[in-house]
Amino acid sequence: MRIAYICQSYPPMISGASLAVQRLAEGMAARDHVVLVMTASERGEAYTEEFDNLKVRRLRAFQNPLRVDQSFLLWDRNIISAEFKEFKLQILHFHDPLNLGVAGLVTARRLQIPVALTLHQVPRFVSAYLPNVPALQNTVESGLWSYGRWLLQQCEKVIVPSHAIAEEIHSHDIQRPNVISNGIDLHTFNPDPPDPSERETLCLRYGLDPDLPVVLHVGRLDVDKQANLVIRASAQAINQVDAQLLIVGDGRQREELIELCANLGIGKICHFPGFVETNGDLPGLYRLAAVFVTASEIETQGLVILEAMASGLPVVAIKATCIPELVQDNVNGYLSQPGEVGQMSEQVLRILMSPNRAKEMGRVSRALAQEHSIDKSIDNHEELYQSIHINST
């Protein structure tokens, strides 16, 4: 098949959605499908990359003022139309419900090309960026759900990565979407270091104390991810047991969070290395951690949670959205109520003080992550594409 993916960002621009699209595009290309990716250029100017069975067309874009190291696109319908015709497109799968994605949808409809959409957000997640004014939040969410009902009706198939998100969408008078995990590379993220000296090497490289357990957070450092709660909970735990905090990622709140650590008296044992590459040290940083902690309440699946689980870590997370589908309370980690920093701190402390129990939780995490292998995800997407391609011919 000849498949096009449209997404607002694509590596080297990093987000959960961009990584999901990259794995899918490369996986389909490896299975001898011919793949086109259309996305924003991280350089500003347009350029194209070509690999075996995979073409990445990066369109002229502008710096996103709300996100670090991200770009955004305007309407590029003429370029999309020309690309689709030249490519002889058979399936469009878009991951951007605005701007570029809608331009692709309109073009595909005109060319009678079947369309699939994966949703990586739902309207209430937007509220994290709005002022805390209920009337404003409700109005915006209501408008977005109305738009969403229209958009989803234009697609042959709609995909979400978790059952909780599928049910939320269905509860707004929309047909229940297909659930397909975004998948995780179980070879890249695994509990077994390729070199016995990996921990020593990484501790030296990142300024970590090799004798202290590591509390790890990985993710975008913006207000909606609530890394501040992770820091506050970790500070309370660290006051009772010797440990150190590693915050991997970048975002608009990074400097503010560094200052928070200093104000809480844990600045000297908190480490902020910034963004770390998946094909670099990130898998090893997961492996050297004792526990993974996140306070995000806006996940449609939780890529970093899956990465931690695949790496054999117990997880402390929030009981919200789809997260209980990955983190089973008191089985492979603990779930805290939203906003309950004290509860989260107690759970982190419990893991740090019970290394044998933590190892057992980590083994369960790895087993649960294997149900989300990238190969299974690609199998399920391939089957879905074949069904809509057959129905359209």
Mean of the per-residue pLDDT values of the chain: 92
Least confident of 71-85, 223-237, 323-337, 353-367: 71-85
Looking at residue 392, its pLDDT comes to: 67
Query: What average pLDDT does range 282-292 have in this prediction?
Result: 98
CA 292 to each of CA 82, 192, 304, 306, 312: distance values in angstroms, whole numbers, following the listed order: 46, 17, 9, 11, 10
pLDDT at 69 (0 to 100): 67
Looking at the fold, whether 169 and 273 belong to one and the same domain comes out as no
Instruction: Tell whether 202 and 307 lie within a shared domain.
Output: yes
Q: Are 183 and 377 in contact (CB under 8 A)?
A: yes
Are 144 and 235 in a shared domain?
no
Q: Are 149 and 175 within 8 A, CB to CB?
A: no
- Residue 68, pLDDT above cutoff 70: no
Q: Do residue 274 and residue 309 come from a single domain?
A: yes
The arithmetic mean of pLDDT across residues 19-28, rounded, is 95
The residues, any chain, with a CB within 8 Å of residue 69's CB and separated by 6 or more, are: 13, 14, 42, 250, 275
Report the length, in residues, of the chain.
393
Q: What are phi and psi of 161, to 5 degrees?
A: -90, 0
Q: What is the pLDDT of residues 86-117, one digit of tens each?
A: 999 999 999 988 878 888 898 999 999 999 99
64 pLDDT higher than 80: no
Contacts with 347 (C-beta within 8 Å, 6 or more apart), sequence order: 316, 333, 334, 336
pTM listed for this prediction: 0.92
Q: Does residue 192 lie within any of the structural domains? A: no
Q: Are residues 213 and 278 in the same domain?
A: yes
Q: Do 176 and 207 lie in a common domain?
A: no
- Which residue range is the domain that position 166 belongs to? 2-183+373-392
- Ranking 43-47, 49-53, 198-202, 299-303 by mean pLDDT, the lowest is 43-47
CA-derived radius of gyration, the chain: 21
Residue 393: the pLDDT is 61
Same domain, 142 and 202: no
Q: Omega before 12 cis (within 30°)? A: yes
Amino acid at 102: V
Residues 77 and 56 in one domain: yes
Dist. CA 317–CA 307, nearest whole Å: 14
Find the mean pLDDT for residues 36-63. Answer: 91
With contact defined as beta carbons under 8 Å apart, do 225 and 68 qualify? Answer: no
| Whether the predicted pLDDT of 67 surpasses 70 | no
> Does residue 139 share a domain with residue 276?
no
Q: Is 103 helix (H, G, I), strand (E, B) or coil?
A: helix
Return all residues near 322 (Cβ < 8 A) that are at least 6 apart.
Answer: 161, 162, 163, 164, 165, 299, 300, 301, 302
In 3D space, the residue among 305, 228, 215 whose CA is nearest the CA of residue 259 turns out to be: 228
Dihedral sign, CA of 322, 327, 329, 331? positive
The answer to whether residue 191 sits within a structural domain is: no
Q: Whole-angstrom distance between the N-terminal and C-terminal Cα of the chain?
A: 13
Rounded to 10°, the helix 100-110/77-87 angle is 50
- DSSP character for 250? -
C-beta of residue 253 within 8 angstroms of C-beta of residue 223:
yes
Taking the C-alpha atoms of residue 377 and residue 373, their distance in angstroms, rounded to an integer, is 7
Q: Would the pLDDT of 62 be above 90?
A: no
268: pLDDT strictly greater than 90: yes
The number of distinct structural domains making up the chain is 2
Sign of CA dihedral 154, 9, 65, 262: positive
Kindly report the CATH number assigned to the domain that includes residue 46.
Answer: 3.40.50.2000
State whether 158 and 261 are in the same domain: no
| Domain assignment present for 190 | no
